[in-house]
Structure 1
Amino acid sequence: MKSATPRPFSGASAVSRPWLPGLLLLLLAALAPGCAPRVSPPGTVIADLRDMPQDAGAYIDPLTATRPLLPAARQQALADDYRQRFFAPWHRTAPAHGPQEVFKLLDEFDPGRYHGENRLPLPPELADEMRALADPASFPNTMRPAISVVNSDLRVLPTVRPLFYNFDLAGEGFPFDYNQNSAVWAQTPLLVLHTSADGAWALVETSAAAGWMPTRDLAFVDAGFMDAFNTVHLAAVTADRVPVADCYGQFRFMGRIGMVLPMTGRETGSVDVLIAARDASGRALLLTASLGDDAAAPWPLAATPATFARLANEMLGQPYGWGGLYRNRDCSALIMDLFAPLGIWQPRNSGAQARHWGLAPLGDLDREGRLRVIGAEARPWLTLLWRPGHIVLYIGQWRGRPAVLHAAWGVRTRVGEAEGRHVIGATVITSLEPGEDLPELERPGGNLLLRLGGMAQVAREGGTP
């Protein structure tokens, strides 16, 4: 909601001499060069969020909404690649992530550099505690296939304790918990590489990430289970935060866009799937569940603008989640989950996503040159635009400007020497210059368009896979 602009003057003089307030402000500005710079009032909403529809359907042409964006053979090849990657952890005989990678933070961990949830420095003894729990000398001590049975987290160290840098620095403190690597949705194939000394944590790999998760959140699988779960037909969850109950009516987990489940049948109004639960011994128990056809569909979904828009609308407005914190999405998780129902695999972080499809640099182009190239070469719903640390999806044009979908924390601001952030904190649709209406926007550092490193064409012929 647009905030009201405060009226600088009131009273008879302002009414009888309407030109006087403006003149006085100009004189004050000229005579007092050291006065405080202009800043937006608290609660200001950036213009993009006021003026651009936060409905992905507004950016698609009704005449081509159901036209496939990819040839059928190309999408099938992508889906085959997705399936292979998704189930790959069950077929590995060696870790895909070595000890130098999974224990990197542990090897250089200095608790004094971090703050906890109480904003105080972490105790120095935490370093020895984490090393004893992680037991890196015995890596890998498990090597067993498993499956996540609830929505969980992949942590960098085997603890729920957060690792925040200085809360007083812009872009640091909450929600940037450096112990959070990724969320992992229920029913994701895993390889358990290693178990903590107390048995409470498992160091696991998914198709896209690795980290520590609570052992209670997973179940070990055997050959029979893997054969049953890796069925010919799969289903995609198409609604976000939908409760999933088993055949006995017991709630098991929240269905999320990005989940892929074995499909056993389809009836009018529903899709039947297999799900895994953890039994008393920690092994996977195979159950059935039924989802409404408004919450699941045969996988992969057709790669049409209408499909993309419907999935995007399920996630629009949701809070930003660094590394999947609180089961929310950051920029790369949004991209990964949006493409999963269509059978298009994406890596977990923004830089890897851009490189996966072949990044075309924008070089030293100026603002107008960048807009020209994007307007001429970007394909709605199939072009990623990347800058270091952030990635967005081009979805078309809005009143002559590129429109993008992204999970955004905020835009850089600067008032005098003080750097800050104007927080957006959600999945949104904006232009490539969100916050340009803010007088305190850091220029040019806060301009997304000018900081873009390049663009990548998703699923391009001749590219990955």
Structure 2
Amino acid sequence: MSRLQSNCLIAAVTVAIMAGYLLHLNIGCLNQEKKEAAPGEAPCSQSYEAPDTIEDLSKIPQDIRRFAAMIKETMGTDEQAQVMQQFHERYFAPWTTPEPLFNVSTVTEQVKMFAERTWYGENRQIVEPERMQGLLALADLDRLPSMNQLGIVIKPTFIRILPTIRPFYETPDDFPFDQLQFSEIKPNEPIRILHATKDGAWLYIETSYANGWIEPDAVRVTDESLQKRMIKAPRVVIVRDFAIMQTERGDVLPQPKIGTLYPLVQEEPDHWLVNVAVAGSDRDAALATARIAKNNASRHPLSFSPEALTLIGNELLKTPYGWGELYRNRDCSATTRDFFLAFGIWLPRNSLKQITSGPLVSLANLSSIDKEKLIREQGIPFRTLLHQKGHIMLYIGLDGEKPIVLHTAWAFRYKRMNCPENKLVIGRTVLSTLEIGKELPLSKGTILDRLDRMLLLPVMPGERIEKDQTSHEEKKLILPPL
């Protein structure tokens, strides 16, 4: 046999062996697929694609105007005065109460328990124990509180659970849910400074609604005269996000969001002249005078008029989703809180604290039909909060017989038979029914299925408040939530 014939024979035998091996693999794969699929069920179809547009969002105009136009319930003068007194007391509580607003020992224990869990960093890897221990050592929690100074915020900043800007995620692919991100604090907000890290690079503070770590350049210490000016002056409130502000000297100030409050100095034809907290000498705060265009701010509080409701509601509809107000966006409870701030109604920061801040109406154990009926009969548009675990919404009225809500949501989870679970990201503030996404095979049912509580606002002084058993954790919203 020639060398050429010998090589050809070897090649033929090799091809035959490989073909048999590949055939064996294919049969094995087919058998495996058959094993994974239940009897009588087809394997997952990879060709399925979720719709680009959620049905609710195409059918319901994303405009508050027609719902606001139907408003009949308004607050009387006496009721408004009581609400504003209550708002005033709570907003300035960091300056007017003798003790910290939050239980310091409870906070310390919660943070230590938080640190014992497994977390993933921005590189999708487990956070090393050494890094966690380093953060705890830096925080020096056993000495909290080591300070007691009254201060004020001079620029928007974020409150963090631990003194670091680096994120902690529950899973490697859990963006944007950085569990260290708590909330944004607005400029001019009163705070109490309670502690500092060993290196002085972070301060532990509390506002009237939140507590945690911030970077020191965002706050300054206040004296008694500044506090009196802030407390006693009439105020204006920002009604459009990221309003442009300049001092009388022409200095551009950090852009505030809806709900930011400023003491009024003078009203001009086209502008408001207001006081703004800025850095003074050393670590002290000073008040500068700045101008805001009148279309960006109004006297505080706004009235519950169709015009004001439309203005604030439609402005909030422009907001992308931001867990803990990450990137200066909003999550569900930031949206409801900022909405009511403009109207002089104070709310806590997270969804469970908000819904338990007054005498709530239970919707648990009711049928979907009965839930909607109760909302139609007892809910007051633009003054009613609806809650399911981990998510809060503002009821704004009816579309036919269906309750409509304004809410900020991240995504839907859905799962087709024999297929992995998927999610369809919304990532913004929307108007919808309580059955948004029902055209998808939702993993855990609709919002309406899981709706559990309703609260009418404002909660008047003397009304029974539900016992608050929450910490500063708020579940991220995957609709329906995990």
TM-score by length of 2: 0.84
With 145-154 and 129-138 compared, the bigger mean Cα shift is at: 129-138
Question: Who is 1:371 aligned against?
Answer: 372
Pair 39,111 (structure 1): closer, same or farther in 2 beyond 3 Å: farther
What is the deviation of 1:101? 3.3
Instruction: Tell me the residue number matched to 1:324.
Output: 325
Residue by residue, what CA displacement relative to the aligned partner does 1:71-123 show, whole Å, maximum 9, x if unpaired? 12111111111111111101233222233333245312447711111211112
**Where does residue 463 of structure 2 map in the other structure?**
463
The one-letter code of the counterpart of 1:57 is: R
8 Å CA contact 1:70, 1:303 repeated in 2? yes
Question: Partner residue of 1:12?
Answer: none
| Counterparts of 1:93 and 1:297, CA distance in 2 | 32
Question: What's the CA shift for 1:345?
Answer: 0.6
The 1:94/1:190 distance shift into structure 2, 3 A limit, reads same
Is the 1:276–1:285 contact (alpha carbons within 8 Å) kept by the matching residues of 2? yes
Partner of 1:256 in structure 2? 257
Secondary structure class of the residue paired with 1:368? helix
Secondary structure, counterpart of 2:244 in structure 1 = strand
Amino acid at match of 1:54: Q
Q: Determine helix, strand or coil for the equivalent of 1:379.
A: coil
Q: Which moved more, 1:372-381 or 1:151-160?
A: 372-381
Which residue is 2:150 aligned to? 145
Q: Structure 1, residues 171-193: CA drift from partner, whole Å, max 9, x if none?
A: xx111111011111111100001
Q: SS at 2:78's partner residue?
A: helix
2: CA distance between counterparts of 1:447 and 1:59?
23
Paired residues for 1:394-405 under 5 Å: 394-405=395-406
Alpha carbons 1:69, 1:305 under 8 Å: kept: no
Structural mapping, 1:254-333, within 5 Å: 254-279=255-280, 281-333=282-334
Match of 1:60 in 2: 68
Residue 70, structure 1, aligned to residue 75, structure 2: yes
The answer as to whether partners of 1:106 and 1:130 remain within 8 angstroms in 2 is: no
- Is the alpha carbon distance of 1:40 and 1:337 closer, same or farther for their aligned partners in structure 2, counting shifts above 3 Å? farther
Q: Distance between the aligned counterparts of 2:274 and 2:82, measured in 1?
A: 24
Conserved in 1, the CA contact under 8 Å of 2:191 and 2:207? Answer: yes
Q: Which residue of 1 aligns with 2:160?
A: 155
Equivalence for 1:115: 120
Could you list the per-position Cα deviations for residues 139-190 of structure 1 after superposition, in whole angstroms to 9, with x for gaps in the alignment?
111110111111100000011011001135xxxx111111011111111100
C-alpha separation between the residues in 1 aligned to 2:282 and 2:464? Answer: 41
Match for 2:83: what amino acid? Answer: L
Answering whether residue 448 of structure 2 is matched by residue 446 of structure 1, we say no
Displacement of 1:58: 2.6
2:105 is equivalent to residue 100 of structure 1? yes
Does the C-alpha gap of structure 1 residues 37 and 371 become closer, same or farther in structure 2, counting only changes over 3 Å? Answer: farther
- Contact (CA 8 Å) 1:46, 1:435: kept in 2 or not? yes
Distance in 2 between residues matched to 1:401 and 1:395, nearest whole Å: 11
* CA RMSD of superposed structures (Å): 2.2
Quick one: distance in 1 between partners of 2:277 and 2:288? Answer: 6
SS of 2:410 mapped into structure 1: strand
Distance in 1 (alpha carbons) for counterparts of 2:48 and 2:78: 51
Alpha-carbon distance in 1 for matches of 2:266, 2:46? 61
* Residues in 2 aligned to 1:59 and 1:242: alpha-carbon distance in whole angstroms: 26
Instruction: Identify unmatched segments of 5+ residues in structure 2.
Output: 1-38, 466-482
Q: Is the 8 A contact 1:105 1:156 kept in 2?
A: no
Normalised by the length of structure 1, the TM-score is 0.87
Q: Which residue of 2 aligns with 1:423?
A: 425
Structure 2 CA distance for partners of 1:113 and 1:295, relative to 1, 3 Å: same
Q: Highest Rg: 1 or 2?
A: 2
**May I ask how many residue pairs the two structures share in their alignment?**
427
Question: Residues of 2 paired with 1:453 and 1:278: CA distance?
Answer: 46
Q: 1:68 and 1:162 mapped to 2: Cα distance? A: 44
- Does the 8 Å contact 1:180/1:325 carry over to 2? yes
Distance 2:56 2:339 in 1: 22
Secondary structure (helix, strand or coil) at the match of 1:396 reads: strand
Distance of 2:77 and 2:464 partners within structure 1: 16
The structure 2 residue matched to 1:34, chosen from 42, 56, 63, is 42
The one-letter amino acid paired with 1:35 is P
Aligned partners of 1:435 and 1:40: how far apart in 2?
A: 16
Amino acid at match of 2:415: R
Q: Residues 218-270 of structure 1, C-alpha deviation per residue, up to 9 Å, x if partnerless?
A: 11111111112223311111111112222211112112111111111112111
Q: 1:417 Cα shift?
A: 6.0
**8 Å contact 2:244–2:292 — kept in the other structure?**
no
User: Residues 240-255 of structure 1 correspond to what in structure 2 (within 5 A)?
Assistant: 240-255=241-256
Q: Is 1:127 aligned with 2:132?
A: yes
Residue type at the aligned position of 1:69: T
Shift of 1:39: 8.0
Residue 77 of structure 1 aligns to a residue whose secondary structure is helix
**CA shift at 1:38, angstroms?**
8.7
Judging changes above 3 Å, is the alpha-carbon distance between structure 1 residues 200 and 175 closer, same or farther for their aligned structure 2 residues? same
Q: Any conservation in 2 of the 1:320–1:427 contact (CA below 8 Å)?
A: yes
Give the structure 2 partner of residue 224 of structure 1.
Answer: 225
Structure 1 residues 436 and 68 mapped into 2: Cα distance closer, same or farther (>3 Å)?
closer
Give the partner amino acid of 2:458: A
Given the superposition, is the C-alpha separation of residues 121 and 225 from structure 1 closer, same or farther in structure 2, using an over 3 Å criterion?
same
Code of the residue aligned with 1:422 in structure 2: it is L
Secondary structure class of the residue paired with 1:103 = helix
Aligned-pair distance for 1:448?
Answer: 0.1
The answer for the alignment partner of 1:393 in structure 2 is 394
Once the two structures are TM-superposed, the CA of residue 53 in structure 1 deviates from its matched residue by: 0.8
**Does the 8 Å CA contact 2:121/2:172 hold for their aligned counterparts?**
no
| Correspondence 1:342-353 to 2 at 5 A | 342-353=343-354
- Hey, what's the Cα distance between the residues in 1 that align with 2:464 and 2:321? 29
Letter in 2 for 1:453: D
Cα distance change, pair 231–311 in 1 and its aligned pair in 2 (3 A):
same
What corresponds to 2:94 in structure 1?
89
SS at match of 1:251: coil
- Identity over aligned pairs, percent: 32
Contact in 2 for aligned 1:68/1:302 (Cα 8 Å): no
- Displacement of 1:37 after TM fit? 5.7
- Unpaired runs of 5+ residues, structure 1, are 1-30
Partner of 1:205: 206
